Amino acid sequence: MEGSGIARTTLFLYGTLKRGEKSHRLMAGQRFVGAAATEPRYRLHDLGPYPGLVADAAGVAVAGELWEVDAAGLAELDRFEGVPDLFIREPVAVQGAAGPVEAYLYARPIPPGARCGSSWPLG
């Protein structure tokens, strides 16, 4: 964030870290930017207790939230998300985003028969 002296990364959250979800406590001290959606290049898969975002050329616009996260928060989130074994953090295309945005993409094969959709929890 310009002028604050603190480097922040803009993250797109789509699952259990969103407001009102079970892991949202990990976002304490970070800045909510607003509701957002990806470009229709992704798909959200139901992995049981949490979703996994994957790139998909025939994808959909996935609903979520944008957050500005400081370096300490990002390190904690990387540990929580199991980077790089379970998830990887990389740039994603978000509709109307003014700058770069990153998200946690699922780094393993999707289980056969996993339901998919555009928002968590899946309906």
Q: What is the mean pLDDT of residues 52-81?
A: 97
Identify the band that residue 5 occupies on the pLDDT scale cut at 50, 70 and 90: low
pTM for the model: 0.93
Per-residue model confidence (pLDDT) at position 7: 85
Q: What is the mean pLDDT of residues 47-52?
A: 96
Is the pLDDT at 103 greater than 60, yes or no?
A: yes
pLDDT tens-digit series, residues 34-47: 999 999 999 999 99
- 81 is a catalytic site residue: yes
Instruction: Using the Cα atoms of residue 75, residue 85, residue 102 and residue 105 in order, give the sign of their dihedral.
Output: negative
CATH code reported for the domain at 8-117: 3.10.490.10
> 43: number of CA atoms within 13 Å, CB side?
12
pLDDT tens-digit series, residues 67-86: 999 999 999 999 999 999 99
Is the pLDDT at 2 greater than 50, yes or no?
A: no
Q: Measure Cα distances from 25 to 18, 37, 56, 83 in Å.
A: 9, 22, 30, 19
Is the pLDDT at 1 greater than 90, yes or no?
A: no
Catalytic residue among 2, 68, 76, 81: 81
Sorted by where each begins, the domain ranges of the chain are 8-117
